[in-house]
Structure 1
Amino acid sequence: MTSEQLYKEISNISALRENRLRYANMVLNDMTLFPKLIDILFMVDDKVSCRAAWVFEFVCTKYIYAIIPYLDHFTTHLKSIHLDSAVRPVAKVCELIATTYYSKTPNTLQKALSPSHRELIVEACFDWMISDQKVAPKAYSMQTLFLLGKDNGWIHDELALILEQDFQKQSAGFKARAKRILHKIKKNKK
């Protein structure tokens, strides 16, 4: 399947979970489509990029290691994602990367995720935390920042500051996640 054909297929996806799952399975069954999917994902001003992000999230949820050969490209272009429907799934993938990286079970992502990759993810997550994003990307970002902050104390300090400043202005969902993260940060400092 060419990039143009994949673009056309993805442009017809509805938000229904079974549609996203069907296309994710199509990519998982033919991993030559994955770089094409990433290219569509980073057509950031095109609404189809949001649909690509939905499929990308499902692929990475099922097989996070698919992203390893594309970490440079993904992390370098991460900050360019700006459409709401694309930010949420991409923030979720950042959380999946951080969770896998800090897994107690040794894995290939731990070797592949460089300090510069982590730095670019941290930068994007902080941007999502301080910009006018919905709750879900902020929740994924705060978890990602908490995990990546285990090696860099300044990340926890900045995250705690943002969470405390935004606490009263945010939704109940944000407050619940923020409380949990703030508790973990305080516990981690002991």
Structure 2
Amino acid sequence: MNSELYKKISDSTAHRTSRDAIANGILTDQNLFPSLFEIALNTKDKNHHKACWIMELVLEKKLFYLTDFLNDFCKNLKTFDSESSLRSISKISMFLSKCSILTSFQEELIIESCLDWLISDRIKVATKAYSIRTLHQLGKKYDWIYPELRRILTDDYSKHSYAYKAVAREILKKIK
């Protein structure tokens, strides 16, 4: 692990400028990505959520950085339990659902995690919204997803916030 990068992550804040500065360094030097990935996946590390925030920004611009790490990423989805990291991890899953670099097994792991996040009472709206969008995208390939997604969104609609309802309405219109 790159100790200089770890220190930068440790010293970073939730402010976008702080996260952008580190993300830009990794975008400039792809060799730093494995260290970022290692920190992000280590859910026992007190700074892993910060690494997830930064990894989201990096992968939004250069998703191919994750190519060599896809199996580890997908296999570890269930280990994330902090909402601070889940929001970013679910958004990265959404990025992945829009490209064709995943194996069927990796897609299954993402689908399973998104469904778990979607039906969990302890998960916040942003993670659920990214999960809904991910499932919508992957439902284009797996025909069993839309009926399940439709049922969950319809059943849970009244239990959630306006933000959840807005995403649910949008996706329900698309999958009718």
Tell me the TM-score normalized by structure 2.
0.95
Instruction: Kindly indicate whether the alpha-carbon contact (under 8 Å) linking 1:45 and 1:83 is maintained by their aligned counterparts in 2.
Output: no
Tell me how far 1:77 sits from its aligned partner. Answer: 0.8
Q: How does 1:60-79 map to 2 (within 5 A)?
A: 60-79=59-78
Tell me how far 1:45 sits from its aligned partner. Answer: 2.9
Alignment correspondent of 1:127: 116
Whole-angstrom distance in 1 between the partners of 2:116 and 2:72: 18
Give 5+ residue unaligned stretches, structure 1.
102-109
Whole-angstrom distance in 1 between the partners of 2:157 and 2:108: 25
1:93-135: per-residue Cα shift (whole Å, max 9, x none)? 1111112x1xxxxxxxx2x311111111111111110112111
Alignment correspondent of 2:142: 152
Alignment correspondent of 1:27: 26
Instruction: Kindly indicate whether the alpha-carbon contact (under 8 Å) linking 1:163 and 1:178 is maintained by their aligned counterparts in 2.
Output: yes
Higher mean C-alpha displacement, 36-45 vs 173-182:
36-45
Give 5+ residue unaligned stretches, structure 2.
none
Whole-angstrom distance in 2 between the partners of 1:173 and 1:183: 16
Identity %: 40
Tell me how far 1:180 sits from its aligned partner. Answer: 0.8
Alignment correspondent of 1:9: 8
Instruction: Kindly indicate whether the alpha-carbon contact (under 8 Å) linking 1:125 and 1:145 is maintained by their aligned counterparts in 2.
Output: yes
Q: How does 1:73-92 map to 2 (within 5 A)?
A: 73-92=72-91
Tell me the TM-score normalized by structure 1.
0.89
Whole-angstrom distance in 1 between the partners of 2:32 and 2:51: 11
For the aligned residues, what is the CA RMSD? 1.1
Secondary structure at the aligned position of 1:61 is classed as: helix
Whole-angstrom distance in 2 between the partners of 1:47 and 1:167: 34
Secondary structure at the aligned position of 1:15 is classed as: coil
| 1:137 alignment partner, one of 127, 150, 157 | 127
